[in-house]
Chains A and B, each alone.
Chain A
Amino acid sequence: MNPHPDLTVGVIHGLGWLYLLLFFLNLGWTVRSYKVDGQYESLMGIKHAPKALVWAAYSALLLIVTLVHFAVESDASNFKLRLPEFIKNPADAVIANPISFFCLSIVIYAAIILLRKWWVKPTVSWVLFNLSVLFITVSMTDYDFRKIVGKPDNVPIVGMLFLVGFTTWLYFSKANENDRRIAEGLPVREKELSDQVLVWPDLVYTEMICMILITALLIVWGVALQAPLEEPASAVKTPNPSKAPWYFLGLQEMLVYFDPWMAGVVLPSVILVGLMAIPYIDFNTKGNGYYTFNERKFAISTFLFGFMPLWTGMIVLGTFIRGPNWNMFGLYEYWDAHKLEVLNNVNLSDYFWLSFLELPLPKPDPQAGFFSQAGSILLREWTGILVILFYLFAIPPLLAVTIFKKFFVKMGFVRFMVLANLFLFMASLPLKMVLRWVFNLKYIVSIPEWVFNI
């Protein structure tokens, strides 16, 4: 059952404006390409058309597409330029599955770092930008996509994704340049700009222009999109799904894998303490005051891991993909509140007692005294408790004498332990995810008697 209302003329015209914008951007790019990329390219000794010609052709195509959109006056349901149906189902299947979603975000993360020399090249990054815009415009022809991505409160998140992409591009282009200079023994680029200039006008004008642009942006945005206002609050009508504000969706997502005391209290606190601790545990004195990757590989890769797959990825997941009953839905999928997902998650203690020993779980006797109860709980959960203790107390020293030996020597005991524990807490989320997917593992330690589950 899929009650898709179809395209409307208004939507098609709106898309026309987006294509028009993209057309003008690419027109500019064509001019740039004509000037920068040279008039002719030599391909295997044969002189062939300048790159700019390709861009010109592409821009012309965009213009035609724009006109096609603007030409629609009625009968929008017969509009042909739309995302083909046969793409939707496979795309949804990849996106709506936690395993492939997470793997995809890890692949993107790894590619951003490993292919950093390649993807920041002007032509490559421009193509990537075009593809992401086209992905959105084409997808907008799908009702369900439009409904979730076009929600006024979700529009800024789309904007944020582009900004994160742009700033990351900016970072890597500058870092690559500096890394090359460092390798050649030259001073970094920032060093060449070390002469003192007066703040009036050099900085004050920049600030002024920023303020004007931001004001203009907010006014246009405010006129274009109305702030949402739903039904008056009702304590009895629970919406499905109920979502926290978007910047807390990462925490809400963690609730799938951890109990609220971990996801809502302990992990956020650890994140904050961890952020504040960064300057005190990063002992690397290089890379202070300029962009570089090679001189700070570990720090940057770790931070990017937290920033991209974890923070940004979980916002995307929580906003666009989590639907009714907190099930995952593809971007082109109808949010069906009756979609069923079978959950049969098992605790580690069940694995140990029921499957491995084939014995019943030890049951604490509610009449017995505290110590007897505690005894049988510990007996039931000893495997999990051992795992946790091992994770928290044995792994840091193990790291210290193996792969992180250099760190340990340089950092000293306290700093290293703080670093190792923060690292382990950050890793606990992906680890728990993998355990859930591979073994259906629910809790490693499950003591409902004390509301203590990990």
Chain B
Amino acid sequence: MSVTEYIRKSQIWRSIFRHPAPYDRRNRAVVILTNFFLHLHPVSAKKGGIALSYTWCMGGITFFLFLVETLTGVLLMFYYRPTLEWAFTDIRALRDVNTLGIMREIHRWGAHAMVITVWLHMYRVFLTGSYKPPREFNWVIGVLLLVLTLLLSFTGYLLPWDQLAIWAITVGSNMARATPFLGHEGPGFQLLNVGGFDLITNASDARFLLLGARTVGEETLNRFYILHCVAIPIVVSGLIAVHFWRVRKDGGISQPL
């Protein structure tokens, strides 16, 4: 009995994998059905639909990058405190003194990559006409995922608390004060007033809601930290689950009828 065979026959192995190795047709089907991670897939699919040249694997790569970002992000959270006193120093320490410092690089480049792949995934879905019935709604979910991916990246941009960070966020969030009706420099904000008092001021408008303050400051750092590490990832995970579910329920990856 070879070593691998010994391991495969052991009680521990068999308690984890509930079926023999996927060497024959039957077990190749069973492995997909009984493994939690693999069961996202159907057992079989049309050859053209799963061809790399058809999907470019872009959705899959985007999902994988999301997982990479989650993992490296959690590691980074161990070393990072979102306060004016520490944020910058903690990030610099990742470079200067920390053995796991490369996590920051992987996290940042992974984020860039994810923004790029999510666009390319959308591009592919458009070019194959895969948003057409019955997949209309999954496209809508996809657009939401696209927005949330951008927001994830945007909120993360602030956290190193360097010049690049606060000014990019300042430029980006300045537009919010011009929101029609809800921004204190937007058209129509004067209309929202009660007895001569403006309801929309620089301390109550859309930008204030985003920043938690009149300018990008510690409140903003806290707000973006929570959005970046908790709120948006939870929503994205939920939507990805729905997205995958719908890919299956809408009949799998699109193919000519």
Contacts and interface: CB of A to CB of B under 8 A. Distances in A.
Interface of A: 153, 156, 159-160, 163-164, 167, 170-171, 174-175, 187-204, 206-207, 210-211, 214-215, 218-219, 221-223, 225-235, 237-239, 242-245, 247-248, 251-252, 255, 259-261, 263-266, 272, 275-276, 278-280, 282, 285-292, 296, 300, 303, 307, 311, 450-452
B67 to A, nearest CB: 9
Contact of A232 (B32, B88, B119, B137): B88
B160 interface: yes
Interface residues of B, number: 100
B180 A156 contact: no
Contacts of A260: 174-175, 177-178, 185-186
A204 B68 CA distance: 18
Interface in B95-124: 95, 102, 104-106, 108-110, 112-113, 115-116, 119-120, 123-124
Nearest to A247: B115
B170 interface: yes
A198 B25 contact: yes
A288 B108 CA distance: 36
30 contacts: A159-B116, A163-B116, A163-B120, A167-B124, A187-B256, A190-B54, A190-B255, A198-B28, A198-B43, A199-B32, A199-B38, A199-B50, A200-B29, A200-B31, A214-B68, A222-B109, A228-B162, A247-B115, A248-B154, A260-B174, A261-B183, A272-B143, A275-B143, A279-B136, A285-B132, A285-B133, A288-B257, A290-B128, A311-B119, A451-B187
Interface in B118-172: 119-120, 123-124, 126-133, 135-137, 139-140, 143, 146-147, 150, 153-154, 157, 160-168, 170-172
Contacts, number: 268
Contacts of B133: 279, 285, 288
Nearest to B41: A199
A361 B151 CA distance: 44
A303 B188 CA distance: 33
Contact of A194 (B68, B162, B255): B255
B245 interface: no
Given A207-B60, A261-B179, A200 B53 contact: no
B46 A232 contact: no
B45 interface: yes
Top 8 nearest A-B pairs by Cβ distance?
Answer: A264-B175, A193-B48, A222-B105, A260-B178, A279-B136, A289-B254, A452-B187, A156-B112
A68 to B, nearest CB: 32
Contacts of B183: 261, 265
B73 to A, nearest CB: 13
A167 B64 contact: no
B168 A276 contact: no
A230 B47 contact: no
A232 B90 CA distance: 12
Contacts of A261: 178-180, 183, 186-187
B65 interface: yes
Nearest to A292: B129
B140 A279 contact: yes
Nearest to A259: B178
Contact of A167 (B108, B120, B163, B167): B120
A199 B42 contact: yes
Contacts of A193: 46-48, 51
B18 to A, nearest CB: 15
A194 B46 contact: yes
Nearest to A213: B61
Given A198-B29, A282-B131, 12 more contacts: A153-B164, A193-B48, A197-B47, A198-B28, A204-B38, A206-B50, A218-B68, A227-B108, A229-B88, A260-B178, A275-B146, A285-B133
Interface of B: 22, 25, 28-29, 31-32, 38, 41-54, 56-57, 60-61, 64-65, 68, 88, 91-92, 95, 102, 104-106, 108-110, 112-113, 115-116, 119-120, 123-124, 126-133, 135-137, 139-140, 143, 146-147, 150, 153-154, 157, 160-168, 170-172, 174-180, 183, 185-190, 215-217, 254-257
Given A163-B120, A194-B46, A450-B187, A229 B162 contact: yes
Given A221-B105, A260-B175, A247 B92 contact: no
Contacts of A286: 129
A291 B177 CA distance: 43
Q: Indicate the member of A202, A207, A259 with the most B CB atoms within 10 Å.
A: A207
Contacts of A200: 22, 28-29, 31-32, 38
B129 A225 contact: no
B118 to A, nearest CB: 10
Contacts of A190: 48-49, 54, 255-256
Given A260-B175, A291-B127, A279 B135 contact: yes
